[in-house]
Amino acid sequence: NEIRVFTPGTVANVACGFDVMGFALDSPGDEMVVRKITEKTVRILKMEGFNLPLEAHKNVAGVALLSMLNELNDNVGFEVEIYKKIKPGSGIGSSAASSAGAVVAANKLLGEPYSNTDLARFAMEGERLASGTAHADNVAPAIFGGFTLVRSYHPLDIISIDTPDELYATVIHPQIEVKTSDAREILKRNLLLKDAIRQWGNVGGLVAGLMRSDYELIGRSLEDVIVEPIRSILIPAFQEVKLRSKEVGALGGGISGSGPSIFMLSRGQETAEKVKAVMAETYDKVGIDYDIHLSKVN
């Protein structure tokens, strides 16, 4: 009646795919212990690593589980322990990891009555609490694994996208906090048709590149003309990190989720390591502390 799960950090948006694309990382990730109880309630018993609310309706994992319980007729509930490694406000899907991990674990304890898409729907309620919008581009890869596309929100339609064997991500997290809700607030509500055309060209290009293992095409498609120009202003040395990473061979990259983390994709681990080195060097120079993660995309 108890299960322990690893729940991964995720990179959402992936440059051109605002609110629709994302992929899971090998690390960092959180661990969670979920227990089934015979009372229709959710209790967050423990939270290690970061100081986040324990009241179920104020906690993203709690809210995700409550939305699942809402659809369940049985007299069951859950107790949760969260061992958090992904910093809130880092741009690598900290809230999504908690929401997704909770519902995946709960579903296992119930004998898996729900599909991954159902689980994403529950976990999205956690995202609504965290950011004001029930976006699915972090919870989808956290639940499905690998690279995912949210083809549609209404109805929810999540597609797994194959990725090439040698694709690696390097993600740097400068130690400043950007709240997703703030990073969404500053976005323009309207966009120009010419920008939309460029963006959906890139979205199609990225998906085709991933599925055909065409690394050049992946690189060309990692461009965001809508969100990045606005949000990158919040991230110190953003352009320099991108430029220097590409100089040592990165295919391309952008802001991870709503930032401040920056991700770059590379072909092969060796190149991803070089990217890691120049990213670190860049932030050493500007005097900002950071964490860096290297992960295979699979």
Q: Which residues between 67 and 96 bind ligand HSE (CB under 6 A)?
A: 93
Query: Whose Cβ is closer to ligand HSE: residue 265's or residue 278's?
Result: 265
Nearest residue to 65 (alpha-carbon basis) of 141, 122, 138, 5: 122
**Bridge partners of 80?**
34, 44
Please return the burial class of 238, using the count of CB atoms within 10 Å of its CB with bins 0-12, 13-18 and 19+.
Answer: buried
Q: Which of 148, 163, 180, 282 is catalytic?
A: 180
Nearest to ligand HSE of 132, 268 (CB atom): 132
**Is residue 12 near ligand HSE by the rule CB under 6 A?**
yes
Residue of minimal Cβ distance to ligand HSE: 257
- We find the least distance from the C-beta atom of residue 139 to ligand HSE, in angstroms, to be 10
Q: How far apart are CA 254 and CA 13, in angstroms?
A: 9
Of 161-220, binders to ligand HSE (CB under 6 A) are: 180, 183-184
Angle formed at CA 213 by CA 208 and CA 217, multiple of 5 degrees: 55
Estimate the crossing angle of helix 60-71 against helix 94-109, to 10 degrees.
Answer: 40
Smallest separation (angstroms) from ligand HSE to the CB of 114: 23
DSSP code, position 87: P
Beta strands 167-174 and 262-267 are antiparallel
Of 79, 81, 125, 127, catalytic: 127
Q: Is-catalytic flag, 127?
A: yes
Q: Which residues are catalytic?
A: 127, 180
**Which residues sit at the interface with ligand HSE, rule CB under 6 A?**
12-13, 18-19, 93, 135, 137-138, 180, 183-184, 257-258
